[in-house]
Every structure is written in C-alpha cells, then in structure tokens.
Amino acid sequence: MTNASNSEPILNVEDLRVHFDSFDGTAEVIDGIDLTVNEGEVVAVVGETGCGKSVTMRSILGTLQQPPARIPTGEITFRGQNLLDASRVEVDRIKGRDIGMIFQDPMSSLNPVFTVGEQLTDTAQFGGNQDIGVLEYFRRKHLDGDREAARQRVINLLEEVQMPDAERILDNYPSQLSGGMSQRVLIAQALLNEPDLLIADEIGTALDVTIHDQVLELLNDLIDERNLSLLMITHNLGVARQLSDRVYIMYAGRIVETAPTEEIFRNPQHPYTQGLIASIPKLTGEEMADGIDGSIPEYIDPPEGCRFASRCPYAHDRCETERPELQYNAEEQGVACFLYDDVEPAPYDPPTLDETRDQMREKPADPDATATGDAAAEQSVGDLE
Amino acid sequence: MSKPLLEVRNLEKYFPIKSGIFQQTTGHVKAVDGVSFDINRGETLALIGESGSGKSTIAETIIGLQSATGGSISFDGEDITDLSESELEDLRRKVQMVFQDPTSSLNPRRTVEQTLEVPLKARGVPRGERVSKIVDLLERVELNPEHRHRYPHELSGGQKQRINIARAISIEPELLILDEPTSALDVSVQAKIVRLLDDLQGEFNLTYLFITHDLSLVRNVAERTAVMYLGQIQERARTEQLFEQPHHPYTQALLSAIPVTSDDEEAYKPQRERLEGEIPSPENVPSGCRFHTRCPYATDVCETDQVPLHAVDDHGEARCHIYDPEHADAFEDLPDVKTAAAQRSTSHE
Amino acid sequence: MSGKTAQSDTQSREGDSLSWLEKRFPPSRRESWARAAKRFLSRPISAAGLAIVGIVIFIAVFAPIVAPHPEHAGAFTDFANSMHPPSLEHPFGTDQSGRDVFSRVLFGYRLSLIMVAVVLGIGVPSGVLFGLVAGYYGGFIETGIMRATDAFLALPPLVMALAITSALEPTITNAMLAIASLWWTWYARLVQNLVASERNEEYVAAAELAGASTPHILFREILPNCLSPILVKVTLDAGFVILIGAGLSFIGVGVQPPQPGLGTMVSDGTTYLPDGWWVSIFPGLAILVVVMGFNMIGDGLRDLFDVEVQQ
C-alpha cells in the first residue's frame, strides 16, 4: 500500500449510468456512481455477484457492447481526458500505453495457440498499437532489430514477477501454465508497457491460498516500486483489505459506502457493509451472521428509493421512496444511508457492526413467512456481470 | 464408543499417465496416496486442501463415481470399496453428495420439479405423492415451493445450491458429502447455506464430510479437520485445536496466508510463513516428505525419509519429522515450530 | 432478464393441482418459447421461410381441395388441351397430356413431403438412438457403432439409391427406403459427438447419483440438451431429401409417371424445352421454393439457438 498524493486523480468516474436494453425492457444496471483513483493509490471496488462491478470496469475500459448497453450519462476521465468522448484510436492508445489490465481468467487475455513468449514479446514490441496492419506487423516482427530487445524486456519483467525459470516459460503455451504462473504472466503482460494505472478483475480468486498469498505480496511490492495506481474489482473483502488503500462498496449498481480500508473494516457504517462483514466466517471461530435475507432487486423497473431497502433490517418509510445519496461525513469517507442523515433523523440510531450481526442472526420464526417474504424478494438474478 | 459411520483405510487412487504411440503407462498420478480417517455418526469432518490435494477424488471414490485402486472404505461396518451397479444403488440411498458448482449440477432443460422428481422416482415414491414431497423439500431448504416450475437459469446461485441440497437429502441419506458447497457463492449467501446445512444436520441427524479450501469456514462448521497435501493427510485434529495450535508447517502456512478482515483475527494467525514456489504436480510427487520443497523447516531427512503420521499430544496427528523423537536433533537449530505456535496461542488469551 | 415473480403461478402450493400439460409446459417455458418465437420471426428470412413451408404443408395436406383440377394428378388425358401456355384457367399451363400443371405441382408437394416424412421418420430416430448409445457407453460399443457409421457414410446416398432401386423395382418406396437406410448415419455421428461431451456434465453425474435409470439419463437428461443441433439439421435435411428425391425421379428411379413427382415432371418436360418451357420450369421452381424455405427456417433456427447459447 502506498500513500496517496494530493494531486489530480488519475482516474475519475462521475455520475456513471449504464443501461441495458433487452427484450423485456431496460435494465438500469449502473445507477449513478462516482469513484476516484488518485496517483499511486490502490482502490478496491467490492461487491457481490450482480452488483455491477464488472459492468463498471468494462465501461471504464470501453469494452461494453453498445448496444445492448447504453451510457446515458457519465464521465470517465483518465488524466483529465474523457474516455467516453474520445475516439477509438485515442482510447486504444491510452489503453496500450497508460492503462494495464489484469484479468482473472488467463484464457481471455492469452491466445491459446501462441506461446507465452510470442505474445508477450508482441505486446512489448508493438505497445498498444493495435491497428498497424499485417505488413507492418510482419516487417517489425522479422526485420526490426527491436524484437530481441523486446524479448529481453519480457524476460526481465518475468523475473521481476518472480516467475521461476523465466526464459523457459517463454516457450510454453498458456494451457501449460499453472494458476499461479498464469497470473504472473498476466501481471507481466499488463506491466510491459509501463502503465501508470492498472485495472484488475478478481485477482487471485481462483488461486490456491498459498499461491494467492505470493501473488498479492508480489503485487504489493510492484505497486510500491513503480508507484502504480491500481483499481481492483473483487468480491473478496479479505483481499481488498490486504491490498487497497480505499474501498468502495457497491450494491445493485450503486456505491453505498466508501472509506479508507482500515476504517471500513473497523467501523463499517452502511447496513449492507455491516451485513457483509458480519457474514464472513471468522478465523477465531466466533459465530457469524446468517447472511442477508432476500436477494438483489431487479434492474428492469428497479425499486424507487434505496435499492437495499427490501433486505435492510433498519428500513423505514423514507427508504422506500427516496434515494439516499452518498454523503461524506469525513475525508474520503461516505455512506449512502438515511441512518446517517444529519438533516432528517431516522427512526433508528446508526447501528454498530455487532448490532447488525445480531439482527441478522435471528432466524425467521415462521417458514410461511419465508415463503411469502421471499416470493417478492427472491427474484431471478440476471447474469449481468 | 460406537462404531464410526465411515471408515477409510489407506485409500489409494492412482490415475495412469499414458504417453507414446502405443499409449504405454509411463507413470501414475497419485491423486490419493494412503489416506485414512473416520467419521462418527452425527459429526462433521472437514477435509481441507489446495489443488492437487486429492480431496475431491476422495469424495468421488467414496460415492462410487471413481473406483479405488487400493485401500478400503467401509460404511456402517460394511465394505463399500468395490461395489457392483446394484450395490452402488443401495449405497446411494445412504450416502449422497452436493457438488461445488450449483449451476453445472442442474440440468438446464429441466425444471426444479423435474430435477427433484428423479431421486423420488428412483426410490419408488408413488407418482401421486411426489409433488407434496417436493413442496415439503423446498420448504425445508427455505425456498418458495412455487419455484419448482422454474428453470435453473431463473434462479440465483444460492437458490440453485439449495436445490442441490434438497435433492441430496430427499431420500434421507445418513452421510452427506459436501464438495466445496459454498465456494462458488457470495459470502452473504454462503452464510445462509451454512446455517441451512447446520439446521438440516440437526433435523435429520446427518453426518457430513465437508470438503473445502476455506479455512475460516471450517472453524464454523466442523468438529474435526484433516489437512491434505498432495494426496496425503498432513495433519488431523479437533478443529479448535488445529486452529489454536497448528502443528504441521503446512497448516501453519495455510493459516497465516488467509486474508482476514479484522485486527483480532490478524493477531490470531500464526506467525507469517510465506511459502515459496509452486505446488508440485501430483504426477511428480517430491521424495521423502511431500512438503519438503516448500517447507521453511526442511532438512536433509525431510528429503530422504517418508513420513508417517505422528501423534502429537493427545488428540492431534501431524505428518512431520519434527514430531518424531528420533529426528529431534535434526531440528535443533531451527526455531522451534511447536513453541512458536504455543507462544502465539498463549499471547492472545 | 425478465422479472418473474412467483405470483404469476396461481395454483396452490399443495397437491397435484396442475394438470399434466401445465406441468410439462410451465409458464416460464411457455414464456421462453414465446420469446424465442418472437425473436425467430423478427428476422425476415426466417419468417419468410416459415411462411413458405407453412404454405407448402397446407397445400400438401389439402391438395385435393385446393387444386383446381385434382383429377389431373394421376393418369388423365385431354389431348385437346395439351401444351397450352400459362393462362388464367391453367396458371402453370398444361402438359403434354393436357393435365393442369398447377394442380400436379400441388400434388407433387404432397409426394415430396411424404418423402421427407418417411426418410427422416426412419433415419432420425434410429440415428439418434445409435448416437445416444454410442456416445454414452463409449468403449467397444461406441467403436462398433461409429465404425459402422463410417462405412455407411462412405456410400453416397444417390448412388446407393440407384443401386438398390436397380436391384429391386424402381419405385419411389424403394428409393425412399434406400435413402432412409443411409440417412441415419449423419444423425448417429452428430448425436454421438454431442452425447460424448454432454456425458461429462456434472448434472449427469448428479442424476446418476440420485438413482436415475439409464434410459432416463439418455432420454430425459442428455437428449434434451442435444435437441437444438438435431432440429436445425432436420430442417435443413428436409430440403435435401426433397432434392434427392427429385433427383432420383428425374433419372427415372423415383416417382414413376403418371404420378406427379416434381422431379419426374421436370424430367418429362425437358423434351419440350424451350418452347414448352412451363412444363419443366414450374415444377423446377416449386422444388427450388420449398427447398429454400426449409433452408431459411434451418438458418433461422441455428441463429436462434446461437443467441440462446450466448445468453
């Protein structure tokens, strides 16, 4: 983790909305989110399945299929330049040179029919320049002296990401790599053109614990050494805690809470955050909460007011009609919940984590209550991630 | 002391590696290599391991999806190692399994009701009674019975896993094998499924074999835990003890690597042991102690001599030379693994 | 994603109050069919194909009623009216025997569709069955069946049909049986391939664990997941069968005159080209239209299933 500097943020997302048009209607998936990544900072966006974090990431990277997706409002600025307005060429250039992407699944970034060495050297040699044409590609590849230099750069970088036997790996195909090695290759690939901002999707989620541990440690070191900024998307709070300086908690297409990492775990404010943290099994063996009742709301014809209201133990009338905006109550710390509203006090006091944990431990007494309650709440979840 | 419900003795499952034009068997993948454990009626045994540990293979072997290449398994006193088709059918009335991925274990073209009908029909439940049984089942797993007309793609991950659980308990088995039942689920959903499993265990007097890679979860679900690495059990103890005083270096490393979310959990973890290197492939099992290539305490004897399970104090066992009095002198110079763990556990009391 | 709430089911939670039909086709399934139909029809080509085939089927079924001169479909002579070009009374003209070509074409469709029904009716179920068994059991059984399939596949259908019908009588029945005896191989291979991979799906293992019998697994678990490619192939094959049947009739080993086989009519009419063009051309066009219609449906189905798979 590094100290965030106070200059202009490297990435700024403002009032982003993303809608998906489908046969059954328009799904308002992302509903006005703001987020910022400062230079040298690690920011985590944490949320569960269906919360829209992947859609957010794809919007930033410009990989959303539009249609069926639509971005009715929003600005995504990288170093002051609006990515949503920029031309395809501009965006590609930035993605190649300034932004590096690390995906979870090696098969989506690496072509299985080429060796690792081929692909990484290509990336190193051609940078982010995707549209150079076939002839130019062959020319550079076979005639340009730069290939050797590029290859060496790749080897150096692989060694830096602690890849055992870096030179031999170059001759392997992606399918021959173990989980940990694939992840390192992906990190190396992202770093090849020395980006300033890394965007990572569920790093290490599919890895074994001991390997995962190594990879996170490695990332930490790389971030410190190169003063990188990192925007990471994850559903794993533990990973977020290990890597990030600041956390955004996302629920049903909205940011419900944000705080510096230490704060959010010591003193989570939003009932959803509390419910989430309370549901994590504790190493020390204390009983965990029973999870959060209900499920995420429909994005097509979404509920008015707070999207968490149907599952919140503290929901009251205002929550169903009015949307709680993210209110900052300290530097970099904000929560979108009426329980924390200074202007209009709520029927309940802001709950502590323990109080919410206790709330969520109580089982519904009557199985019939579950059946009818869930009939409204347990609707099908779309694969919008 | 009643007889254990499940007894596994020196279970072995080797997969042949074939290569060359004539498909000669050039070696073996020793997925499971001499595993023994018991599960008592009504308790939950957790089996923890990373990739290549063999934990899923054990599950498949017990329930007959794979056949053991060595060793024996007995259920309720009867040997079930090598069963015929019809004997397997009988076994599967008493032993059932829930798979890891809730989606792929449900046929996408069949409704919930059609899926749940299968075990009922196989057990001879008359047609007229099936629907009410299904309604019952769905209510027991806390699902709206109306959902029985839905297709899997219309259900969330948690709901699908409840269906899988419903299917497994529909014929009221005695032993339920849960192979990473919550690994594919979000943490808030996981908590609910764990609670459901707990309730069902009490209600039906079920015995669980809980397979997972998530150590924190194990603390909450299992009375006893076995840690596996490359096809062998490395440590076995009562769960609480395993966490309070992990004996095997691998267990310590696992525990110290878990990303936790609170300071007191952080303080609870054993001292940081970051393991180097990759997990070896089961095709190429290291000589001597399988863990020696990554163990921070490995010495010469670890590379040469294989290790049996050594009893450590009253209730635990660890497969490590450190606990062999004969090799005590080999570990003289190293920081004492045992007291390090002991120190940590006394410090947070 | 649609918003489905449980309130759409009006039945009580207890007991067998849903009729058998409603259980087999629950609301969500009907909804997804409705959506699929909408999507299918939204493409002009698929809709056109469906319309064409629909009309052809209608014609085939109701030929005796629809045709202006149903009696011309068989042995009928009216040499006074022979070789008249298309007119209001005879939209496709009359042939050398004075028969109304239009009516004969309508009845020709009937014969074509019967051909399709027989060939596919025999070939598809048997091929699918072989494929299921081969794919599921693997080992010797699979090898045995697939090698037999390979042997049959080596024989071109048209040539086989010729050979068989020369050995036996050159009737349309023999020709159809000859083709059917080869047609199963394509389905065996297709289905074996599909089943071999479906077989490893976790839900098959789960069904086995739950105690499902082998026929249940084959027909209720695995087969439903293979239906899409089979269906696409059936629609495309329909066109193909008609073409082959017409081809055989054209050479003379299919539908024998005076029966109004489309290929036979084309063949008979060639002698009168180019002056009496309508005798050959209209039956030829009729073949073209129906084959295209089936192809268009097949294409549309394939696109439909691709989209569904992606979702």
Closest residue to A283, CB basis, from B143, B155, B260: B260
Q: How many domains does chain A have?
A: 2
How far is the alpha carbon of B64 from chain C, nearest alpha carbon, in Å? 9
Position A208 in a domain = no
Asked if B135 has any chain C CB less than 8 Å from its own CB, the reply is yes
Query: Same domain, yes or no, for B155 and B213?
Result: yes
Query: Same domain, yes or no, for B215 and B188?
Result: yes
Peptide bond into B173 cis (omega under 30): no
Which CATH superfamily groups domain C105-311? MetI-like (1.10.3720.10)
DSSP 8-state assignment for residue A84: T
Check whether A204 has a pLDDT greater than 50: yes
Last residue of a domain, which of B184, B206, B222?
B222
Check whether A75 has a pLDDT greater than 50: yes
Mean of pLDDT values over A186-214? 86
Q: Which domain holds residue A126?
A: 114-191
User: Does B260 sit within 8 Å of A214, measured CB to CB?
Assistant: no
Q: Is A178 helix (H, G, I), strand (E, B) or coil?
A: coil
Highest mean pLDDT among A203-212, B335-344, C39-48: C39-48
Looking at residue B330, which CATH number applies to its domain?
A: 3.40.50.300
Query: Same domain, yes or no, for B67 and B137?
Result: yes
Contact list, C38 vs chain A (CB under 8 Å):
23
Last residue of a domain, which of A171, A191, A211?
A191
Position A372 in a domain = yes
Edge-to-edge strands, sheet with B44-49: B95-98, B175-179, B207-212, B44-49, B224-229, B232-238, B316-318, B310-312
Q: Which chains does C contact via 3+ CB–CB distances below 8 A?
A: A, B
Check whether C7 has a pLDDT greater than 60: no
Closest residue to A283, CB basis, from B159, B243, B277: B243
Query: Same domain, yes or no, for A273 and A186?
Result: no
The larger pLDDT score, comparing residue C169 to residue C117, is at C117
| Residue B336 pLDDT class (50, 70, 90 cuts) | low
Contact list, B263 vs chain A (CB under 8 Å):
266
Position B123 in a domain = yes
Position B90 in a domain = yes
pLDDT, residue A34, reads 92
| Residue C15 pLDDT class (50, 70, 90 cuts) | very low
Closest residue to B106, CB basis, from C4, C203, C220: C203
Query: Same domain, yes or no, for B176 and B291?
Result: no
What HEC string does chain C produce?
CCCCCHHHCCCCCCCCCCCHHHHHCCHHHHHHHHHHHHHHHHCHHHHHHHHHHHHHHHHHHHHHHHCCCHHHHCCCCCHHHCCCCCCCCCCCCECCCCCEHHHHHHHHHHHHHHHHHHHHHHHHHHHHHHHHHHHHHCHHHHHHHHHHHHHHHCCCHHHHHHHHHHHCCCCHHHHHHHHHHHHHHHHHHHHHHHHHHHCCCHHHHHHHHCCCCHHHHHHHHHHHHCHHHHHHHHHHHHHHHHHHHHHHHHHCCCCCCCCCCHHHHHHHHHCCCCCCHHHHHHHHHHHHHHHHHHHHHHHHHHHHHHHHHHC
Question: Six-digit token pair at A174?
Answer: 């992606």
pLDDT, residue B139, reads 93
Check whether B173 has a pLDDT greater than 90: yes
Query: Same domain, yes or no, for A186 and A271?
Result: no
Question: Which of the residue ranges A62-71, A318-327, B84-93 would you say has the lowest mean pLDDT?
Answer: A62-71
Mean of pLDDT values over B194-213? 94
Question: Which of the residue ranges A50-54, A75-79, A129-133, B6-10 would you say has the lowest mean pLDDT?
Answer: A129-133
Query: Same domain, yes or no, for B207 and B256?
Result: no
What are residue A111's phi and psi, to 5 degrees? -80, 125
Mean of pLDDT values over C248-260? 83
Last residue of a domain, which of A191, A215, A249?
A191
Q: Is A42 helix (H, G, I), strand (E, B) or coil?
A: strand
Contact list, A277 vs chain B (CB under 8 Å):
261
Check whether B343 has a pLDDT greater than 60: no
pLDDT, residue A340, reads 86
How far is the alpha carbon of B164 from chain C, nearest alpha carbon, in Å? 9
Residues of C with CB under 8 A from a CB of B: 4, 6, 9, 13-16, 23, 26-29, 32, 201-203, 205-213, 216, 220-221, 224-225
pLDDT, residue B201, reads 94
Position A61 in a domain = no
pLDDT, residue A385, reads 31
Query: Same domain, yes or no, for B148 and B44?
Result: yes
Averaged pLDDT score across all residues of chain A: 82
Mean of pLDDT values over B39-43? 93
Position A197 in a domain = no
Mean of pLDDT values over C225-243? 91
How far is the alpha carbon of B118 from chain C, nearest alpha carbon, in Å? 6
The larger pLDDT score, comparing residue A259 to residue C160, is at A259
> Containing H/E element for A75?
strand A69-78
Q: Is A179 helix (H, G, I), strand (E, B) or coil?
A: helix
Last residue of a domain, which of A138, A165, A191?
A191
Q: Is the dihedral of CA A45, A46, A50, A54 positive or negative?
A: positive
Peptide bond into C170 cis (omega under 30): no
What is the chain C residue with the closest CA to B163? C206
Question: Within a 10 A sphere around the Cβ of C88, how many other Cβ atoms?
Answer: 5
Check whether C11 has a pLDDT greater than 50: no
Query: Same domain, yes or no, for B181 and B278?
Result: no
Position B106 in a domain = yes
What is the chain C residue with the closest CA to A27? C1
Place of tokens 């014809």: A301
Check whether C2 has a pLDDT greater than 80: no
Closest residue to A276, CB basis, from B187, B216, B276: B187
Position B291 in a domain = yes
| Residue B282 pLDDT class (50, 70, 90 cuts) | confident
Query: Same domain, yes or no, for B291 and B327?
Result: yes
Question: Which of the residue ranges A142-146, A368-372, B11-15 would you say has the lowest mean pLDDT?
Answer: A368-372
pLDDT, residue C233, reads 93
**Testing the interface with B: which of C14, C194, C202 to mutate, by most B Cβ within 10 A?**
C202
User: Does B240 sit within 8 Å of A279, measured CB to CB?
Assistant: no
Q: How far apart are CA C179 and CA C120, in angstroms?
A: 9
Q: How far apart are CA C99 and CA C93, in angstroms?
A: 8
Last residue of a domain, which of B222, B255, B289?
B222
Position A5 in a domain = no
Residue B71 to residues A139, A222, B29, Cα–Cα distance (Å): 62, 48, 16
Check whether A17 has a pLDDT greater than 50: yes
pLDDT, residue B263, reads 82
Name residue B73's amino acid.
Answer: I
Mean of pLDDT values over C125-147? 92
Asked if B164 has any chain C CB less than 8 Å from its own CB, the reply is yes
pLDDT, residue B337, reads 54
pTM value is 0.84
pLDDT, residue B119, reads 93
Highest mean pLDDT among A108-112, A116-120, C296-300: C296-300
Averaged pLDDT score across all residues of chain C: 84
Torsion angle in degrees (nearest 10) through CA of A350, A355, A358, A360: 20
Question: Which of the residue ranges A212-221, A227-236, C157-166 would you say has the lowest mean pLDDT?
Answer: C157-166
Output the DSSP codes for A304-343: SS-TTGGG-TT--HHHHHSPPPPEEEETTEEE--GGG-SS
Place of tokens 């059932």: B96
What HEC string does chain B produce?
CCCCCEEEEEEEEEEEEEECCCCEEEEEEEEEEEEEEEECCCCEEEEEECCCCCHHHHHHHHCCCCCCCEEEEEECCEECCCCCHHHHHHHHHHEEEECCCCCCCCCCCCCHHHHHHHHHHHCCCCHHHHHHHHHHHHHHCCCCHHHHHCCHHHCCHHHHHHHHHHHHHCCCCCEEEEECCCCCCCHHHHHHHHHHHHHHHHHHCCEEEEEECCHHHHHHHCCEEEEEECCEEEEEEEHHHHHHCCCCHHHHHHHHHCCCCCHHHHHHCCCCCCCCCCCCCCCCCCCCCCCCCCCCCCCHHHHHCCCCCEEECCCEEECCHHHCHHHHHHHCCCCCHHHHHHHHHHHCC
| Residue A362 pLDDT class (50, 70, 90 cuts) | low
Position A150 in a domain = yes
Residue B209 to residues B40, B41, B174, B178, Cα–Cα distance (Å): 10, 11, 11, 6
Check whether B216 has a pLDDT greater than 80: yes
Question: Which of the residue ranges A180-189, B305-314, C128-137, C203-212 would you say has the lowest mean pLDDT?
Answer: B305-314
User: Does B146 sit within 8 Å of A209, measured CB to CB?
Assistant: no
Query: Same domain, yes or no, for B194 and B260?
Result: no
Query: Same domain, yes or no, for B208 and B238?
Result: no
| Residue A379 pLDDT class (50, 70, 90 cuts) | very low
pLDDT, residue C63, reads 86
Check whether B168 has a pLDDT greater than 90: yes
Residue B123 to residues A120, A283, B127, B130, C202, Cα–Cα distance (Å): 57, 41, 11, 11, 21
Last residue of a domain, which of B202, B222, B242?
B222
**Testing the interface with A: which of B261, B269, B281 to mutate, by most A Cβ within 10 A?**
B261
What is the chain C residue with the closest CA to A21? C1
Q: Is A254 helix (H, G, I), strand (E, B) or coil?
A: strand
Position B1 in a domain = no
Averaged pLDDT score across all residues of chain B: 87
Q: Which domain holds residue B178?
A: 6-222
- So what's the ipTM on this one? 0.85
Mean of pLDDT values over A342-356? 81
- Percent of chain B at pLDDT exceeding 70: 95
| Residue B208 pLDDT class (50, 70, 90 cuts) | very high
Position A322 in a domain = yes
User: Does B261 sit within 8 Å of A265, measured CB to CB?
Assistant: yes
β-strand B70-75 against B44-49: which pairing, if any? unpaired
User: Does C35 sit within 8 Å of A299, measured CB to CB?
Assistant: no
pLDDT, residue C135, reads 92
Q: How far apart are CA C229 and CA C298, in angstroms?
A: 10
Q: How far apart are CA A324 and CA A338, in angstroms?
A: 6
Position A295 in a domain = yes
